[in-house]
Structures are given as C-alpha cells and as structure tokens.
Amino acid sequence: MDQVSLPFAGIRVLDIASFIAAPVAATIFADYGADVIKIEPPQQGDPNRQTWELASYPKAGVNFPWEMDSRGKRSIAWARRFISFGEAERYSDYQLPASRT
C-alpha cells in the first residue's frame, strides 16, 4: 500500500508511553501511515527496552517485544523533569473536589 493512501498519512503522533498497551496503540498509528515519534528518557531509554532480560522471557539475541512495539517509529531522548505532587499543586489552579462521604 502506498504511503500517501494510508489513512493516517500526514499525522504526527508523540508516543510518551511505556509498556505494552499505549505503545502498541501508537504502533498501530504508524502502521496506518502516521509519523510516530517515541520520546524516551535519556541514558536507559524506555523501560520496555530491558524487559527481555527478565527471567520470564525466552532467551534470544533480539528483544522481540521491543521490536514489535517500536516498529515504524522514530525515537528521541528527552530529559523531562518530573515534579512531585506537592510541587504540582503549587503550580495548579485546579482544586480537587471535596471528598464524598
């Protein structure tokens, strides 16, 4: 199938997820022509890159789950800073609703 005729051709998707379900959703976008950019933390990359080393995975020279989840994607490392809930609370205008009893 020609790239131009794919339904998501011309759409750019940022994949910031890790572990199975969400990365697979972004892979499906790539399968249908979207330009998917996988954003990973620097140094170690997405944690799913190392899961094949777990004892429960069959021993192979290739990380097949990672290859399946990341096919058709470009990948970049981004040093985003995570903030604590308390810090986020200071920057937010949103007020949590009163708890229900």
Q: Is the pLDDT of residue 2 over 60?
A: no
pLDDT over 60 at 42, yes or no = yes
Distance CA 95, CA 73 (A): 38
Q: How far is CA 36 from the centre of its chain?
A: 10
More confident residue, 54 or 26: 26
3 state SS for 15-64: ECCCCCHHHHHHHHHHHCCCEEEEEECCCCCCHHHCHHHCCCCCCCCCCH
**Bigger pLDDT: 35 or 82?**
35
What is the value of pTM for the model shown? 0.68
Residue 60 pLDDT exceeds 70: yes
Whether 95 has a pLDDT exceeding 50, the answer reads no
pLDDT digits (tens, 9 = 90+) for 14-36: 998 887 778 889 999 999 999 99
